[in-house]
Amino acid sequence: MKTIYEMPGHLIRRAHQISTAIFAEECMAFDVTAIQYSALCAIGMHESLDATRLSRLIAFDRATIGGVLERMEAKGWIERVSSPKDRRVKLLRLTPEGENLVERVESAVQRAQKRLLEPLAAEDRKEFLRLLSQLAQVHNDITSAPIQPID
């Protein structure tokens, strides 16, 4: 019988904890979380993005993304504006402060990613990322927040 320390689910959860801790250390000076960074990047890359589409794009459940957006709005990083097509729909936009933050935090994010994979040999990093991507794609639809690309 395998111990939990040999089970993929446990190891993936531990890797996530480690990834989150490294991100927090590297990005501490910017007071931004990994999910906030993901949201900022997605909002910056897509015009006419509402909260529902954002949650689908970054695979974060709709109920939780609302609180994330409220905190980002309170920090002055994003704004919500009414859609010209439907005034009830609020579109998300980066503020100049949000755009500036994305630029300033980029090197810290890259350091975090490098630190996370540093223990692996270069070829192992590529294979690790390939396998993680494969798992994420194959099991995407069974999660509570599957990634749904925007057309």
Which pairs from 19-25 meet CB under 8 Å and 24+ separation?
19/112, 19/116, 22/112, 22/115, 22/116, 23/109, 23/112, 25/112
In-domain check, residue 63: yes
The domain spanning residue 39 has which CATH number?
Answer: 1.10.10.10
65, 78 Cβ separation under 8 angstroms: no
Distances (CA, A) of 49 to 29, 53, 64, 70, 97: 28, 6, 17, 15, 18
Q: How confident is the model at residue 1 (pLDDT cuts 50, 70, 90)?
A: low
Parent domain of 128: 4-136
Query: H or E element: which one contains 82?
Result: strand 78-82
Of 27-31, 130-134, 147-151, the least confident: 147-151
59, 146 Cβ separation under 8 angstroms: yes
Higher-pLDDT residue of 143 and 69 is: 69
49, 58 Cβ separation under 8 angstroms: no
In-domain check, residue 15: yes
Higher-pLDDT residue of 47 and 90 is: 90
In-domain check, residue 141: no
Q: pLDDT tens-digit profile of 68-89?
A: 999 999 999 999 999 888 888 9
Calculate the average pLDDT of the chain: 93
Q: pLDDT tens-digit profile of 23-68?
A: 999 999 999 999 999 999 999 999 889 999 999 999 998 888 999 9
Other beta carbons within 10 Å of 68 = 20
